[in-house]
A = this chain, B = another copy of it.
């Protein structure tokens, strides 16, 4: 099984958060387990909010890309596809909600678990929890929608 983002078509694999073709990016990778998905991430030294704690914008980014990958997997599975095997569908974020339950410590690997709570034809809603050392620090909720036509650039040349 590959990560969902490893199976995005190349045109959709440049995302700063999760695109395998973005050299400066974060390379967030979501592994689908059949009902939920898990991403693991170790922040870079510069990803601090205050000394010793992880930057909230990075945490929001982790929740965003991981939820979008999870939405694609859940949608594919309902449609009869095989997430982690078949090419991934590309969803985008309609809305993102992040609750910071407590400060997230720098140091430990962060584990983000995401679960689809509504899988419809027009949108998928994903809820997630980000934990450090087994302690939930952040909660997320993302409304994901299939990529709109106005975000697909015509090929040039």
Binding site for B on A (CB under 8 A): 11-12, 14-17, 19, 22-25, 44, 46-53, 55-58, 60-61, 64-65, 90, 92-100, 102-103, 147-148, 150-153
Contact = CB atoms under 8 A, between A and B. Distances in A.
Given A25-B46, A51-B153, A57 B147 contact: no
A17 B17 CA distance: 15
Contact of A57 (B50, B61, B90, B95): B61
A55 B11 CA distance: 15
A53 B93 CA distance: 13
A55 B15 contact: yes
A84 B14 CA distance: 38
A46 B64 contact: no
Contact of A60 (B11, B61, B90, B153): B61
Given A97-B96, A98-B95, A99-B95, A57 B64 contact: yes
Contacts of A102: 150
Given A96-B97, A100-B94, A151-B103, A14 B48 contact: yes
